[in-house]
Amino acid sequence: MSTKKSRPKRQEFEYRTGQHSSQPLMNVLGVPSTNRASFWIYNTQEEAESFISHLRYVC
């Protein structure tokens, strides 16, 4: 599992890639890895929308 950071203008996001302790499920689904981002009560809707926009850009 790896941790990647991406810092667009005035934002910081952290996400993880890998199997997230779910290798059997990943094998059943036939996918080698996934991306995971975590949000919590201190994140704003603008931050979530910015992250989604950035994710669409890099994908």
Which tokens in the block code for residue 57?
């850009």
* Predicted local confidence at residue 9, as pLDDT: 53
**CATH number of the structural domain spanning residue 47:** 3.90.1150.10
Closest CA to 4 of 33, 36, 26: 36
Q: What domain range includes position 48?
A: 2-58
**Count of domains observed in the chain:** 1
- pLDDT reading at 43 higher than 80: yes
Averaged confidence pLDDT in the chain: 78
Residue type, 12: E
Per-position DSSP letters for the chain, written without gaps between them: -EEEEE--TT--EEEEEE-TT-HHHHHHHT-S-EEEE---TTS-HHHHHHHHHHHHHH-
- pLDDT reading at 28 higher than 90: yes
